[in-house]
Amino acid sequence: MIYLDNSSTTHKKPKSVISTATLGMKKYSINPSRVGYKRGIEVQEEVFKCREKLSEYIGTTADKIIFTSGCTSAINMGLRGTAKRNGHIITTIFEHNSVLRTLEDLKQTHNISYTTLTPNKEGQIPTSEIAKAIKSNTYMIIINHTSNVTGATQNIEKIGKIAKKHNLIFFVDGAQSVGHEKINMQEMNINLLSIAGHKGLYAPQGIGVLAINDCIVTPTKTGGTGTYSEKLKQPTNYPEGLESGTQNIVGILGLYAGLEFVIKHQEKINTKIHTLTQYLVDKLNKIKNIEIFAHNISSGVISISIKNKDSVFVSQILDEAYNICTRSGLHCAGLVHKYYKTLKTGLVRISLSYFNNKNELNKIISALEKIALS
């Protein structure tokens, strides 16, 4: 099988991630915050090591690393935990439905309004347009750092300066960028950062993070925290107050191993992904009837359409005839497809990881050429 759907989740994991996650199942199936025995304390220390390593990597503090079930959960927690009734939020058409559908829900529950900005031809959201969209009741800018459809990557440092100038919460969806792009929350004035551990950090599925910096997020889920159990009111301290329920220890340990792998090999990872993606784009550009949607070669994310062919049909042929896995359809990002007029046919997304190679790309290039010319 040739796997080219890494923007959804990285399929091949580093050996260290597999062995560490396996160790979590064998040795550490324990609730660390609810015990006082030695093995439980050992697990607590392992969990803290992950918080500490990740906080250093993205520029916040260990207590502000909140483990979630994934990026969608982190986005919901961040948006709902900071929601201001009758407030206004600035966002973009590049956003994933985990953002847009949550905003739609907040529209109903909190009378929140939001403005969706469109990109220029390079896929960038002009900072001048962001500044123009600010209203008297605006309290947040939420933006997708790297698009899961076109790979368009925004200048979050410039946007962070605008947010700081106007005293706005700056929320960055880092699902596709963490592990690839350099991010420092403090230096870039980022208040909230959502992370999908199973993508650019090569962790198992089911682990995400909401990272907080200079921002108050109130709990949106209540339950056991292992702290202040004599009180019926949900504690609000970080991280426990936002982490009710049993932690995904296997996922956390796998995330730690994946993060170590990325930190050690990040330059090599990014160079390889950039080189392979550039090669793929160059080859596909030469094939008649293929249109490419790619704004940042370094992201490893490109989408294509083939004239007169539905994206689902193309992905099915790639799977059934060539054993190649790609993503078709609307990629949970309907506004992007509305903008690019691909709502009816969708797009075929090809997304690479460090573990892909040129031989695999040659096979999909050959397959797409046959499909495009048939």
From the list 293, 306, 299, the residue with the least C-alpha distance to 340 is 293
- Provide the Cα torsion 208, 214, 219, 225; round to 10°: 70
Residue 70's domain spans which residues? Answer: 15-260
Which pLDDT belongs to residue 28?
Answer: 84
The average pLDDT across 38-57 equals: 92
Q: Which two tokens stand for residue 148?
A: 């899961």
Q: Summarize the confidence of residues 285-314 as an average pLDDT.
A: 96
- Check whether residue 84 and residue 192 sit in a common domain: yes
Domain count, the chain: 2
Q: Do the beta carbons of residue 175 and residue 153 sit within 8 Å?
A: no
User: Considering 260, 281, 313, which residue would you say is the last residue of a domain?
Assistant: 260
Domain boundary among 240, 260, 280: 260
Are 236 and 98 in a shared domain?
Answer: yes
- For position 275, what pLDDT does the model report? 98
Query: Which CATH number goes with the domain that contains 151?
Result: 3.40.640.10
Q: What is residue 35's predicted lDDT score, i.e. its pLDDT?
A: 62
Q: Tell me: the pLDDT tens digits for 159-206?
A: 999 999 999 999 999 999 999 999 999 999 999 999 999 999 999 999
Say what the pLDDT of residue 42 is.
Answer: 87
Could you report the per-residue pLDDT of 59-68, keeping only the tens digit for each? 999 999 999 9
DSSP secondary structure letters along 107-153: HHHH--EEEEE---TTS---HHHHHHH--TTEEEEEEESB-TTT--B
What is the per-residue pLDDT for 230? 84
Let me know: does 288 contact 366? Beta carbons within 8 Å: no
Which pLDDT score is estimated for 235?
Answer: 85
224 pLDDT above the threshold of 90: no
DSSP-assigned letter for residue 218? -
Backbone angles phi, psi at 25, to 5 degrees: -70, -40
275 shares a domain with 256? no
Q: Which pLDDT belongs to residue 39? A: 82
Q: What is the reported pLDDT for 284?
A: 98
Cα separation, 246 vs 243, in Å, equals 8
For the segment 110-139, the average pLDDT, to the nearest whole number, is 97
Segment 140-156 mean pLDDT: 97
pLDDT higher than 70, residue 213: yes
CATH value at residue 308 = 3.90.1150.10
Least confident of 28-37, 306-315, 343-352: 28-37
Domain-terminating residue out of 245, 260, 275: 260
Same structural domain, 72 and 168: yes
Same domain, 241 and 300: no
Q: Average pLDDT of 83-90?
A: 98
pLDDT digits (tens, 9 = 90+) for 227-284: 788 888 888 889 988 999 889 999 999 999 999 999 999 999 999 999 999 999 999 9
Going by pLDDT thresholds of 50, 70 and 90, the confidence category of residue 40 is confident
pTM given for the model: 0.96
Question: What is the percent of the chain with per-residue pLDDT over 90, rounded to a whole number?
Answer: 88
- Judge if 78 and 123 occupy the same domain: yes
pLDDT at 33: 64
Residues 235, 180, single domain; the answer is yes
Cβ pair 109, 86 in contact under 8 A:
no
pLDDT of residue 66: 98
CA distances from 282 to 146, 194, 297, 323 (A): 21, 32, 11, 23
**104 and 222 in one domain?**
yes
Query: How does residue 309 score in pLDDT terms, banded at 50, 70 and 90?
Result: very high
Instruction: Note whether 194 and 335 are same-domain residues.
Output: no
Same domain, 94 and 212: yes
Residues 53 and 145 in one domain: yes
pLDDT of residue 27: 87
